[in-house]
């Protein structure tokens, strides 16, 4: 029997068809993930290289851009994860739309980089502030990845490696969302680079562990 026939037969099963409404479960998983991320991000206030946005308004511009970026990535990833959670459902979001947040941020970051002082930027790079952004974002994303994996696993994903990658993308964006509320002293372009690197790392982790964690 062909793999497509197996998927069609599974998707026709009334016990499986009850799982064809993944949106409420995924929204609940996202809310739980955000609650976990919000709780853990409170610990970042004690970090010496993170400054709470409430303590000064110098980084509002970077905060708005980065927050819009990670929210856009999370929204795109959520749509793809929803589609991949149901057998025989095709992904409705074009790849061009998925790439749009990253392309837009790259253009904005390039424009900001050209207008900033190379001395200041290189000084922040030498202090490895963007590396702190990466590992702190990943630390927030890992619990979110666990919550989302449990939620999707109770649905009926078929393409486990691809589903794992987009769960990682969503978890990375949620982790970055929690980190965004603490304005870094670095130029926003370095935070954007850190968020992108963290999201990419979570996608790779999802691709590697998805087939084992999402099996149902």
Element (H, E) at 79: helix 60-84
Q: What is the mean pLDDT of residues 7-15?
A: 54
User: 38 CB contacts (<8 Å, ≥6 apart)?
Assistant: 178
Which pLDDT value is given to residue 145? 97
pLDDT digits (tens, 9 = 90+) for 56-100: 444 567 788 888 999 999 999 999 999 999 887 888 888 889 999
Q: How confident is the model at residue 189 (pLDDT cuts 50, 70, 90)?
A: confident
138 lies in which domain range?
60-213
Which pLDDT value is given to residue 212? 92
- Going along 60-180, which residue ranges are E strands? none
Q: Is residue 75 part of a domain?
A: yes
Which pLDDT value is given to residue 128? 54
Return the SS3 of 163.
Answer: helix
pLDDT digits (tens, 9 = 90+) for 14-56: 454 445 578 888 999 999 999 999 888 877 655 544 444 444 4
Q: Is residue 39 part of a domain?
A: no
Q: What is the mean pLDDT of residues 109-128?
A: 56
Q: Is residue 6 part of a domain?
A: no
User: 68 CB contacts (<8 Å, ≥6 apart)?
Assistant: none
The answer to whether 140 touches 179, Cβ cutoff 8 Å, is yes
> Total domain count for the chain?
1
Which pLDDT value is given to residue 56? 45
pTM: 0.80
Q: Is residue 30 part of a domain?
A: no
Q: How many CA atoms lie within 13 A of 201 on its CB side?
A: 19
Taking residue 172's Cβ as centre, other Cβ atoms within 10 Å add up to 32
Q: Is residue 115 part of a domain?
A: yes
User: 98 CB contacts (<8 Å, ≥6 apart)?
Assistant: 76, 80
Q: Is residue 22 part of a domain?
A: no
Residue 128 CA to residue 197 CA, distance in Å, equals: 14
The answer to whether 194 touches 54, Cβ cutoff 8 Å, is no
Specify the higher pLDDT residue, 157 or 57: 157
pLDDT digits (tens, 9 = 90+) for 175-186: 999 888 875 556
Q: Is residue 32 part of a domain?
A: no
pLDDT digits (tens, 9 = 90+) for 119-151: 444 544 544 566 788 888 999 999 999 999 999
């Amino acid at each position: 029997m062909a793999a497509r026939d197996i998927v069609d037969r599974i998707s026709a099963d009334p016990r499986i068809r009850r799982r064809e409404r993944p949106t409420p479960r995924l929204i609940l998983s996202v809310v739980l993930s955000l609650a976990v991320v919000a709780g853990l991000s409170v610990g970042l206030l004690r970090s010496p290289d993170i400054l709470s946005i409430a303590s000064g308004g110098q980084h509002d511009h970077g905060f708005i851009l980065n927050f819009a970026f990670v929210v856009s990535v999370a929204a795109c990833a959520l749509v793809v994860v929803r589609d991949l959670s149901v057998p025989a459902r095709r992904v409705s979001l074009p790849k061009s739309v998925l790439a749009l947040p990253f392309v837009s941020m790259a253009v904005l970051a390039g424009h900001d980089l050209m207008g900033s002082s190379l001395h200041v930027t290189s000084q922040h790079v030498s202090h490895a502030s963007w590396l702190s952004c990466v590992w702190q974002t990943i630390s927030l994303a890992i619990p979110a990845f666990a919550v989302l994996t449990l939620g999707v696993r109770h649905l009926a994903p078929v393409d486990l490696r691809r589903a794992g990658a987009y769960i990682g993308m969503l978890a990375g964006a949620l982790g970055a969302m929690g980190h965004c509320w603490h304005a870094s002293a670095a130029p926003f372009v370095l935070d954007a680079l850190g968020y992108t690197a963290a999201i990419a790392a979570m996608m790779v982790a999802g691709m590697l562990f998805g087939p084992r964690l999402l099996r149902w």
